[in-house]
Amino acid sequence: MLGSKSINRPLLALAISAALCATGHASEQDNNATAKANLLLARMTQDEKISLVHGAGFFTSPIGGGGYVPGIERLGIPPLNYADSSSGINLAGKNTTPLPATLALAASWDPALANRYGTLIGHELRTLGFAGGLGGGTNLAREPRNGRTFEYLGEDPLLAGTLLAERTKGTQAQHVLGMAKHFAVNGQETDRFNSNSVVSERVLRELYLRPFEIAVKDGQPAVVMCAYNKVNGEKACENKHLLSDILKGEWGFDGYVQSDWVMAVTDTARAANSGTDEEEPGSPDDNQPGLMGRGTWFNQKLKAALQGGTVATQRLDDMVRRKLVMLYRHGIMDAPPVPGGQVDRAAGDKLALYAAESSMVLLKNAPKASTSQHAPLPLDAKRLHTVVVVGGHADVGVMAGGGSAAVPARDGNAVVCRTPGAKDSVIGIFDLCAIWHKSSPLEAIRVRLPGATVTYFDGSDATAAAAAAAQADATIVFATQYTTEQIDLADLSLPDAKRDPANQGYDQNALIEAVASRARNTIVVLENGTAVTMPWVDKVQAVLAAWFPGAQGGPAIASILFGEVNPSGKLPITFPASEQDLPQQAINTRNPDVDYDEGLLMGYRRYDAQQRTPLFAFGHGLSYTHFTYSNLHVTPYVNGDVSVSFTLANDGPRGGAEVAQVYAGLPADSGEPPQRLVGWQKVFLKPGESRNLSLTLPAARFSVWSDGWFVPQGEASLKVGGSSRDAHGLRASFTLGKRLLSAGA
């Protein structure tokens, strides 16, 4: 995938050491890393140690990244530059690849893609001289109005954790430090520096910490970023229970904890003694007010704390040792990244296209009842004479999310902002204007319809668009929903000019209603950062969630619409029928306490337990072919693992990939919601092909928390199907035996 000409020499040398690891020398290499780190540590002065545990200040990275820890030449410790890289590197002018948002990655349900996603980002980071990536967001989508939902991996802990582990492996195989963030329970942006997530230990363990646990244990990220918010009254970066007892203690995390930026740390001793190992962005002078006027904590103040004995020397050594071990383990000491390389744009585009095509979710595809023709998708170029395309700036590009996760548009922004220069009102650095990648869906549609008349309306005149739609064989309406760090959405409806003056010039819901009332076929394509409510859903024939689809969004959308690629994405978050169905009715802007008093009833767990019908269920996603499940067998093993096998057949007309999902219902008295995801497999089948699939589900996937992990005893069930609510899914019962897996901290 990565062009060989872009691989540099130190990397080749490192590839050899990676190959050695793969052949079983990993622990030896780790021992070496620790031994070397200890030797180096013994040579360091206290000032040198302190210089390694804080950044040099905001925007100080000489190569433009979000964080910078200068090196120590005398000791051969290279400078550490970190760049934001949620779905590509947030660095202007370097041709970095804007991949589809991480929420889209989650919608692919494809661990192999997650690995390639991480690999590409890691490779580009190293090519540009960065040792660490500030990506890897995995806060669960309890509150889909959270402005950062697009940066995370959905609402299910197993799906999110598995994909993050794979992404991390991909990045770290490129000898770049991988990351999991924001640890933990950083579920919304409102008042994010002060908010306090109040959550029970059981819910913490089973839901909000679980993706981190999976990613830390399976992916071994070098860095965990602790969050801004408080968790049960303690700042996440000053939270001994989270950082020392659980992360480093129970889970054995041997990397380092990096603070989130600006105001995650509020006290030197509390942060250091709780387990934070590096303060970012840091400052040359802790007493300078800095961006939010609160100063910093891990420079002169740390020195004073060491002198005063409130932070022990051993703790400073531990902070430094953790970092040095990671630098040795990931080959950064031996072959530091060298800035100045060229990103391989073609390789990036190739993955961006594949990832976008793998992640779009076909939510609805049904013929208009009154005319009962075929389903509107895939579009058949031979039968289309007139097509109308409306709105969403589809003539020029596709939307992307904002904040630190933004990836600059490589060829300039496709859309002129309606409020140029507008920034968020809290911190004043995040753009209210979206990035639009120059990748026009309209152009890609036109290419596929050389003989047809394709007319574009910009959406501002709903009446004109509707009149044209009435004459067209098909009408495709593009709708966009901008989301960004620092700002939560007021609701999940498609924004209008009032809600989002920077990016919207008209009422998108009214436009869709107007078009749908007259069109023969209305197809809605969403470029969305989270779930969307759809008051018009019964009036349109097809809905495609394209998410923020990245640099190749235009061609990817067209290839799905025309059936060159059969859609295979599945929802990683529930689309609620209304905000009333969410755990909190509204985001409280006055009370910093965010009570997670819904307990485990979050995401699909909530809809199932309360027997509510969502707009579109978790795991839902249609295909242009048809899959049938049969032959379900469940075998519990003596070691507590459960084996499940079934046959999946593609009995429809075309090839396609299905995400076969396995859900477990735990014994009735376990206090668990009706079902949880315990496994899945994404498989491509040719038309007429069937395959026997078998998955081994580790005992941990059936466990619940009560001062430790245990598997509850009793009658349980397994359900296999194409979504969490597949009416044609298969079900079988089996018996779980009680089993203690691990004791708590």
How near is the Cβ of 405 to ligand BGC at its closest, in Å?
A: 7
Relative to beta strand 256-259, strand 690-697 is unpaired
H/E stretch holding 428 reads: none
Residue 741 tokens, joined: 């897996």
How near is the Cβ of 17 to ligand BGC at its closest, in Å?
A: 29
The answer to the question of residue 176 lying near ligand BGC (CB under 6 A) is: no
Cβ closest to ligand BGC, residue 57 vs residue 619? 57
Label each residue of 197-253 as H, E or C.
Answer: EECCHHHHHHHHCHHHHHHHHHHCCCEEEECCCEECCEEHHHCHHHHHHHHHHHCCC
How near is the Cβ of 404 to ligand BGC at its closest, in Å?
A: 4
Cβ closest to ligand BGC, residue 259 vs residue 365? 259
The answer to the question of residue 261 lying near ligand BGC (CB under 6 A) is: yes
Helices (H), 473-625: 508-518, 553-561, 604-609
How near is the Cβ of 515 to ligand BGC at its closest, in Å?
A: 38
Whole-number Å distance between alpha carbons of 612 and 181: 31
140 Cβ contact partners less than 8 Å away, ≥ 6 residues apart: 152, 154, 155, 156, 157, 160, 187, 207, 208, 211, 602, 603
Q: What count of residues does the chain have? A: 745
15 Cβ contact partners less than 8 Å away, ≥ 6 residues apart: none
Cβ closest to ligand BGC, residue 484 vs residue 493? 484
How near is the Cβ of 130 to ligand BGC at its closest, in Å?
A: 13
The counts of H helices and E strands in the chain are 18, 28
The answer to the question of residue 134 lying near ligand BGC (CB under 6 A) is: yes
C-alpha count within 13 angstroms, C-beta hemisphere, residue 687: 8
Interaction mask 630-669, ligand BGC, x per CB under 6 A = ----------------------------------------
Cβ closest to ligand BGC, residue 229 vs residue 552? 229
Among 61, 172, 404, 559, binds ligand BGC (CB under 6 A): 404
Phi and psi based region of residue 501 (left: phi greater than 0; alpha: psi -120 to 50; beta: remaining): alpha
The answer to the question of residue 302 lying near ligand BGC (CB under 6 A) is: no
Chain CA centroid to CA 365, Å: 26
For residue 288, the one-letter residue type is: Q
Cβ closest to ligand BGC, residue 260 vs residue 277? 260
Cβ closest to ligand BGC, residue 260 vs residue 279? 260
Give me the phi and psi of 587, to 5 degrees please. Answer: -85, 120
Are the C-beta atoms of 606 and 636 separated by less than 8 Å?
no
Whole-number Å distance between alpha carbons of 511 and 35: 65
Task: Give strand pairing partners of 481.
Answer: 528
283 Cβ contact partners less than 8 Å away, ≥ 6 residues apart: 54, 55, 56, 57, 58, 290, 295, 296, 299
Cβ closest to ligand BGC, residue 376 vs residue 403? 403
Residue in this structure with the two tokens 């590096």, named with its chain if needed: 278
**Stretch 73-92 residues interacting with ligand BGC (CB under 6 A):** 84
Cβ closest to ligand BGC, residue 404 vs residue 508? 404
Whole-Å CA distances, 233 to 110, 206, 315, 382, 594: 37, 20, 24, 63, 11
How near is the Cβ of 66 to ligand BGC at its closest, in Å?
A: 4
Residue in this structure with the two tokens 């001994």, named with its chain if needed: 240
Query: What's the longest Cα–Cα distance across the chain?
Result: 81
Among 66, 331, 408, 722, binds ligand BGC (CB under 6 A): 66
The answer to the question of residue 394 lying near ligand BGC (CB under 6 A) is: no
Residue 200 tokens, joined: 């029970």
- Give which of 659, 658, 639 is closest to 702, Cα–Cα: 639
Q: In the 8-state DSSP scheme, what is residue 54?
A: B
CB atoms within 10 A of CB 126: 29
Chain CA centroid to CA 645, Å: 29
- Give which of 567, 582, 581 is closest to 620, Cα–Cα: 567
Catalytic residue among 260, 473, 488, 500: 260
Active site residue 285: no
How near is the Cβ of 402 to ligand BGC at its closest, in Å?
A: 12
How near is the Cβ of 468 to ligand BGC at its closest, in Å?
A: 43
Cβ closest to ligand BGC, residue 147 vs residue 674? 147
How near is the Cβ of 134 to ligand BGC at its closest, in Å?
A: 4
Cβ closest to ligand BGC, residue 176 vs residue 546? 176
Helices (H), 490-551: 508-518
Whole-number Å distance between alpha carbons of 671 and 668: 7
The answer to the question of residue 110 lying near ligand BGC (CB under 6 A) is: no
How near is the Cβ of 56 to ligand BGC at its closest, in Å?
A: 14
What SS3 class is residue 727?
Answer: coil
The answer to the question of residue 181 lying near ligand BGC (CB under 6 A) is: yes
Angle, helices 111-127/345-359, rounded to nearest 10 degrees? 150
How near is the Cβ of 261 to ligand BGC at its closest, in Å?
A: 4
Cβ closest to ligand BGC, residue 66 vs residue 599? 66
Using CB under 6 A, count the residues that bind ligand BGC.
7
Radius of gyration from C-alpha coordinates of the chain: 25
Among 260, 349, 357, 726, binds ligand BGC (CB under 6 A): 260
For residue 678, the one-letter residue type is: V
Cβ closest to ligand BGC, residue 261 vs residue 680? 261
How near is the Cβ of 393 to ligand BGC at its closest, in Å?
A: 27
Whole-Å CA distances, 730 to 634, 657, 686, 697, 727: 11, 19, 22, 17, 9
C-alpha count within 13 angstroms, C-beta hemisphere, residue 400: 35
Active site residues: 260
Q: Which residues in this chain contact ligand BGC in the complex, by CB under 6 A? A: 66, 84, 134, 181, 260-261, 404
